[in-house]
Each structure stands twice: as C-alpha cells, then as structure tokens.
Chain A
C-alpha cells in the first residue's frame, strides 16, 4: 500500500513539476515544435489519434453506465446473439464442464478473430464431448452488442474489420484494439468495473443457459480469455459465480488484467504466457495491484494462496505472427504455437483433479482420542441396565447423531437412542429420525464448498465437516452431525421432544422433533462418590491403573448427607495423550485429593463387568451453589473478579465465591439465589504451562478462550442440595481436537476425561444473576426473555461457525473469534428484544408499563445495561458496522481483507482478549447491580505435576 502511494506520489510530483517548474512548458513547446518540424504529419496524426483515444476512453463507460441506469430500455432490445456451441456435445451424458471463450481486444464482430475461431475448432476436436465450449460472445459490450452491429458507427467498424481481416497489419485495425482497450480499462476501473462486470457476467450466464446449462446444477464453468478477454473473464468471475452457484475457473491466454480482480473467488487461475509476449507484460506494469511491492493486493494474495498457476509457453509472442494462436509459428519441439496452446488448454480442462484431501498428514488429537475404547460410543455396552442403584439415569433423550447418506437427506439426521425416557423405553437402541423445527433456522441453511484454505487446514490436521463438502442446503442439524469424519457425538435432546410415528414410505421409523439445539454431552448415568482406594492388582498402582482396573468408591446418601450409600466399582481408564504428550486427565492420588472429602460427580456408562466407566469427572464443589465467601459492594466485587480470582493459579485449587455489585449483607445476597433461576455464564480458560508447556504458549502470551453459556439453579437429587447445571454455547473455530461449535454441557466440555479441559486448564465460570437480563417479560401477549434470545443468537452463530459460512472452515482473527463473535451475539440479542418490544405499539406498551411496573423498571435497567455494554465493548462503534447492523460475515480467514479485519477487531478491542472480554462484561453487570457466582478451578482431578496452570492475559485499566 505504502509502495503504491509512493509510486503514485512520484508520478504526480513529476507531472506537477512539468506544470510548475519554470521553463518546462517552454521545453515541451520546443520539443513539440522540433518533432513537428521533423515528422510533421506523423506528429499531427499521433496527436489526433491521442485526442480520439481520449474521446473513445471518455465514452467507453457510457454503454455500461447507460445499461445500468436503464437508459437504453434494455427489455426492448434483446441481445442479437447469445453465443453458440463451438462443437456439438453428447446428448447421452450430462455436460461435465462448460467453457466460455472470450476473445482478445481485436474482436469487433460477433465472431472471434480467425485465429481465435481456428483455436476453438481445434480445441473442440480435442476435448471429449461432455465438455461444452461456447463461442460468439462479444466480451467488450455489456449488452453483447458487436461493434459491427446496431450502433450508428457499425458501418465504420464493419469497414475497419474488413480491412483488418484482409490485412492483419492494417494500421486501422489498431483502432479496434484501442477502442477495446478502453473497455478493458472500464472493467478494471473501481467505479465502472462493478457495473460493467455484472453486465458481462449476465451476458455469459444468459449464454450458458441458452446453450443448455442448468442453473443450480453446480456444473463447473471455465472462462477462457485471450488477451483483454482475461480481464473481462476475471471481472465477471465473482458475479458469474454468484449467478450460477457453481465453481468458476479462469484460463488466461496472455491475459492483460488488473490486480484488483477477485482472484480469490476463482476455483483457479491458469495464466499461460509466452516469453516474447510484450502485450501481456503491460498488465504487471500498468496495474499497481500486480506489483510485487503490494503484498496485500488480491493478485499477490491469490498467488500466495496457490490460486494462480503461471504457465510458460516458451518462445511465443502475443498476437500474430508468432503469437499464442499462430498455427504457422513452429516451436523447437516441432509443434506449432497454436498446437501447443490447444494441448495445454485441453490438458487443463480434462485433468481430473487429484482426490480431495481426505485426512490430515499426521494424526491429529481427534484421531488420537478416538483410539481410546472407553470413550468411544458403543450401544451394546453403554445402553446396558445400570449396575448400581447409586447411579442416576438421565431424564432426557440421549443418543448418537448419525449423518444421513447424501441420497437419503431430508434436512434432519438419524438419532441412535442410547437412553430414552421411561415412557419410550421401547425405542432404546433404535435409530430414529430427528428433526429440529425452527423457522428461524432457514437463513442458516447453506451450501458447502470447501475453500482451498479449508482443505489445507484439513491436511494440516484440522477437523472440518469434510463429509458435507459440495452438499447443498446443509441444515444446522446436519452440520452438527457431520462436523467430524465419524458419527461419534453423543447428544442430549433439550425438552420438549415430540415423538411422532414415521410417515408411510419411511419404513415407519418414528420421528423425534425438537425446538432447540441438541446439547453435546458425555456419559449416560451419574453418581456422587468418594474415592476410597485405587485399583489393586498385581504390580504397582500405576500398572493397575494402566490396566484400567476399577477403583473402590462409595456413593453419597442424600438423605443422611453422608458418603454411606452403596459402594461402586469405578473404572478410570487412562486417557490418550494429545499430540504434545499432555494427558487430558489423570487419576493419580484422587483418594488423597482435598476435593475427595466433599466428593466427585461422575458421569459414565456401564463397563459390562458390573462396574462403571467414568467418562467425566467433576468435583462436587464446582457443581453446587455453596459459595465459600460472599463479597458485596461494587468495588470489592469488581476487585475480586478482576484481580483476586485469577491471582497465582495453583494446580488442583478450586474456589467458589459469590460477588454482588450492590451493598448488601451476605445473607441477603445468598437469599436471592433460588432454585429454578436461569443464569448467564461467562466462561474463560487459560493455558497449560509447566514442564509440558503447550505449544500455544511458546510466544509467552496466553490468550485463552471465552464462551457464554446458560446455567440453571436446580435441586440436585444426588446431593440433596442446590446445584448448578451448565450448558456452554461454544463459539469455537475448527480445531485439531474435534471440538464442535455449539451447545455443550459441562460433562462434555470440561469434565470429560478424554475430551474436556478441567484436568489440564485453569478455568473460570462466572454465573451471573441479573433479572433484567436473566428474567423474562410478559409483553405483547408473549413471554420474552433476553437470555433465551441470546441462546438463539449463539445457536445461530455456532451453526455458522460449524460450516465456516459454507467454506468449510472458520479461522480465528482479530475481528472474528470466540470472544468477538460471542459478544456480537449478545448485542444482537438485546437489540432484537428492543426491536420486538418497540414493534408492539406505543399505546399497548404504555398500558403494559402501567400494569407491570416491576417489569417496566427491569426493561429500563436492561436498556441502561445495553448502553453501558455498547460503550465498553464498542468504544469506536463506527469501526464495527457488522455489529451495529447485525450483518454477519465470518471473514473466513485473516487473509481475506486483513486490514479491515484488524481495524474491525480494534473497533471492539476489549472483546479481542477472552479474559478482558469477560472482565469488561462483568464490570458492566456489577455496575448495574448484578450478583455472580465465580467458580474457579485450576487443573482439577488427579495429580498432574508435569503441568501448571497459566492465567489468560488481560489488561488493566
């Protein structure tokens, strides 16, 4: 950018100097007079030529602009030709690929130049008949109007064309070239380009359809552009791609094109250039976007991302004689230049791309973890009757999501029932249809075509929804089921679940209908236990643990409030280490752990031998509402959240503190928290340090991760006390661990001994109680809850994350990441509620305010909160139009619009860092009188001296 500005400045200064410096005018006059004396007529003719060229250039955009503005009454004048097939195609098989030829700047009529037509004939003969070539498009007219037809100058152009065809070296032929060069300039112009290119894309699309292309068929299109046709092809590319909804690639034959075309949208660009081609060299010279010193131009970025193949044609020029399409110019290998071009182009067109990347080059964490048999889903083992009365079966439907085969799709997915409520016990073990009915999901249903970056990420070990590649209209439920290469995600279905008998023709498979996103979970039965003794067996304890023998444990009796319930045999198999050798959890010394006295919640499945496999383990202290301290008052509460909560994390430590932003007694603060309340959750995790420090901390900075969630304050039957049940809404970019963006309960996300983070990372879960946000409003004859609206927004955001908005990958950048996008959803939820309430009508609203003063006051508090959040998170609101207007654009990757991405990220800089985002939001909530349960845990579980907790970075202010 800097270089471009500098160059521009230099040129401008030179021109200014020409004007300003004393004597330069005289010098120019003198030079002109001298030239005129020596080459009088030539100089006059050149001057006239320049003036004519300027006039032509001045008028060149008019056609496109007039077309756009509707000046020509376009509907009355259909294009004279829509192009035709250069060679007949097979009527038996569908056309595999469509090629559209756009000729060079020499084209004046509806036909390409003779050499171009010859080239198309030869290419047609060479290609199989399931590849169609379309010829006869006039690329230099936005309405496909050849210069030789229609306009008042047609007669003149016909004469020039005739002269030029008779003698290719005719000087007048240059006039056609010059006129068309100005059109190439229009296509490359930032102002006119979008209009002109839309017009040519329309012409191409019309031509494709008229020749048998079926829109929506997804058949790929190749634009084959010679010379200036290269620019026209690349200009039309993004618009055409949007219109045909299919991949579009470009083959440029000595193309002259600007560097600001949307190269990144091309499937690929093949740029064929001869070594003696002087015309093509104009492109890299006159278009600044092609200069090397502009690393951020589309051209240079596309080159870096492997979108462009530069192919040398050897000692070949541009036009005749000796050009790319010269049938008489012989090359050292005996072929003519024309023959070589036909060979190269047909090779590109018939090449079958090597099979798409099907997996990572090296095993990723997901593949490693799948090797653990105890954490793999196994209906036969998992759905057995529970071996002990100490185990509590779930209340909800639990099962495995199975992605339907492409030919079976109906928008839903299969659901293999691992657990059914007692009323539907007969459906246990069956595979049912599962549908997620919510009309608001429609905009989240999208086609999936993996970008090159996504495929590259797959090869580098990322877990992406590869099975969905090239699927049309993928639903959020399908993206959940197809998020990983295998159907291995256990989910809990949120109530209510409607059970309907399958329709005729569906083999009477019952159908489950849900209204909200399934929650990813781990384990089928839960218990509250205290570990008594590790496995015993021959050899050392470690060896016994290695053999996954059962621990002796005793369950809790809620009636007596003691660990005096039935004993349990618990299997805690060692998990598989990740690629860095870090174990996700250990069971070492659990019986000695300070948390053992209070006990542990375990979630798991029967092991088939009378015991239970503990798949998830969480200390009771983390699962209950029993704060060890209560801090009230805004300043003290904030100081705890900001400084004390994360001060000096120590492995194995756990704390539970209630903070309140209001000056009140501890008893008053505690009394407000009643069963049945819904709470907003702010979750942050930190890094893994110590001897086995994780790679991500190599830079020395731990950014961590942020997520929102929802918690319910419930009566916990296993403990007979008030407990918290958390569901996170993980806005999680694609990753090596196979973590799927979406709703995950704590069993899965934190406590899972193979896939969770509790054993390895320091975490904070802040459960916020703030009735204006967490409560509901009965207004307009309907209950509205900001928290529920927020959940829906997050469900939408995570659905988009799973598919990368159709590109197959979501990457983390300054503007789009877990923290930024979660907070964008928060804004969207509050704004939506505001809009809904304002839409009710003034008089009704006033009546409501009078009849429900408490709710009206809460609403006012909510609006104050929104304003404060906006001030805190969007100090430079103008920089985040995407938040304000609720326009979503994941940006897919940092490489796409990097500067804009950075600026937008800075526009909401407090949401850039996960912990800072959490701090910022908490500060606002506390300032508005919220209270919160701050749960902190540092690498809780078995002993794990190889790692140490690292607090995530925040900034003080």
Chain B
C-alpha cells in the first residue's frame, strides 16, 4: 500500500501527460503482486468520487439531504469503479480474443484505472458556466489516455487498442441491457436507498422536476 501511495502522484502526473512509459513502468515494476491493479482501482475510485462531485447538482435537484448526499457520493464512486472493472474485463477479453493480446487482466485494469487520471479533475465540472466545457475536455483527454494506456500495456497498435476499448464497451453495454440487468438494478437500488428518494437522473425528467418544483403563488406568499 505504501509503495503504491508513494508512486501514485508521479504515475498520475505521467498519465496526465499521456506518456506511454507511465503505463510501461507499471508493466515492469508494479505488475507483480497486483499493485498495478490496486493503483488503477484507487485512481478510478478517486476519479469516480470527483465525477460524482462534479455532477452533484443532480443530487441537489432531487433534494437529497446532507448525510445521504455524502453517502450517495461514495456509493456513486463505488458504482463507478465496479462499472470500470466490468469494462476493463470486457476490454481485456476482446483484446485477448480478437487482437491476440497476451497481457494479464490485472495489468489492463491497472492501465485503464491510471488512464482515469484526467477525471480526477472532474469535480471542476461543478463550476458554474465553465463546468460543461471542462467536462468535455476531460472526457477527450481521458479517452486518449485510455487508448495510450491499453496500447502500451497490451502491446497493441493504437487502432487495435481503440477497437478493443470500443468493442469492450459494446459488450459491456449489451450485458448491462441483458444478463446484467439485475446488477444494474441493484446499483440503482443502492443509490436510491442511499439518497433516500428515487433519484431522477434523466435530463428531461430533471427539467420537469425543476419546473414542477417552482413554488405556487400561494406558497410564495407564505
């Protein structure tokens, strides 16, 4: 754990600069003992938390109370990590079956997790007016980091890495809509449970919630 925390800032710094050796180093030094995976999961967890903070207005709109608000952020981060693990596994499968990569799953988890480094700034998404463009920038940044990370750790060309990621994502999307539905439902249930209200996340319904929430004249006078 200590070894990981010592190296984490440096790894994040390199990942942010999209330097392939950030992921390559891992391949050499941290691979054994699953440290890469552990570090990747930590970064993904922090990125998930940061993202949850960046999009916390959804919780506010749903009128989630402070303690539940904090718990919801943590749950969202955990769900983010589990989603990430699913995606990493399907990407690994695709890289192995389709593109013939021989890299072990923990290494890929590590690389993809570290590639989440730009998302550590996702809390800036909460900034008024600037938040939207910042999130878009971070998404682009992260997408490139994914490609660089997978390409370097799994010895794939950038196009093959991109292909593994996209097909992996499609596989996971398909699973979510089919066999994974109970898991998805569990995730939603745990979020709703933490929030204390059935969370509305769909933008159209959020808008109507805001409209409906506009207080009536009588209430205004009160």
Chain A positions within 8 Å of B, measured between CB atoms, are: 8, 11-12, 15-16, 19-20, 25, 54, 57-58, 60-61, 65-66, 68-71, 182, 185-186, 188-192, 194-195, 198, 202, 205-206, 209, 215, 239, 242-243, 245, 258
Contact = CB atoms under 8 A, between A and B. Distances in A.
Contacts of A215: 217, 221
Interface in B85-131: 123-124, 126-131
B128 A16 contact: no
Contacts of A194: 207, 210-211
Contacts of B141: 16, 19
B63 A68 contact: yes
Contacts of A206: 220-221
Contacts of A11: 133
Contacts of B214: 198, 239, 242
Nearest to B125: A191
Contact of A25 (B17, B62, B126, B128): B17
Given A8-B133, A185-B128, A70 B63 contact: yes
B171 interface: no
A195 B128 contact: no
Contacts of B133: 8, 11-12
Given A57-B128, A209-B221, A69 B137 contact: no
A12 B137 contact: yes
Nearest to B127: A57
B22 interface: no
B198 interface: no
B64 interface: yes
A186 B17 contact: no
B197 to A, nearest CB: 10
Query: What is the interface of chain A mostly: helix, strand, loop, or mixed?
Result: helix
A71 B213 contact: no
A66 B129 CA distance: 18
Contacts of A12: 133, 136-137, 140
Contacts of B136: 8, 12
3 smallest A-B Cβ distances: which pairs?
Answer: A185-B128, A65-B60, A185-B129
Contact of A69 (B18, B63, B131, B210): B63
Given A185-B130, A194-B210, A242-B214, A15 B137 contact: yes
B61 A68 contact: yes
A212 to B, nearest CB: 13
Contacts of B137: 12, 15-16
Nearest to A71: B66
A507 to B, nearest CB: 37
B173 interface: no
Interface in B194-222: 207, 210-211, 213-215, 217, 220-221
Nearest to A13: B140
Contacts of B220: 202, 205-206, 209, 243
Interface string B60-95: 111111100100000000000000000000000000
A727 B164 CA distance: 65
12 contacts: A12-B133, A12-B136, A16-B137, A16-B140, A19-B16, A20-B144, A54-B127, A68-B63, A194-B211, A195-B60, A243-B217, A245-B217
Given A19-B16, A243-B217, 11 more contacts: A8-B136, A57-B130, A61-B57, A69-B60, A69-B64, A182-B128, A186-B129, A189-B131, A194-B210, A195-B61, A206-B220
Pick the most buried of B61, B64, B69, B126: most chain A CB atoms within 10 A of its CB.
Answer: B126
B56 to A, nearest CB: 8
A221 B210 CA distance: 24
Contacts of B59: 69
Contacts of A189: 128-129, 131
A19 B18 contact: yes
Nearest to A54: B127
Contacts of B182: none
B132 A190 contact: yes
A541 B148 CA distance: 93
B127 A68 contact: no
Pick the most buried of A8, A12, A205: most chain B CB atoms within 10 A of its CB.
Answer: A12
A58 B217 contact: no
Interface string B162-175: 00000000000000
Nearest to A187: B128
A854 B144 CA distance: 66
A190 B127 CA distance: 12
A156 B146 CA distance: 46
B17 A202 contact: no
Contacts of B131: 189, 191
Given A12-B133, A19-B141, A60-B128, A191 B57 contact: yes
Contacts of A68: 60-61, 63, 213
Contacts of B123: 58
Nearest to A75: B222
A61 B130 CA distance: 12
Nearest to A59: B126
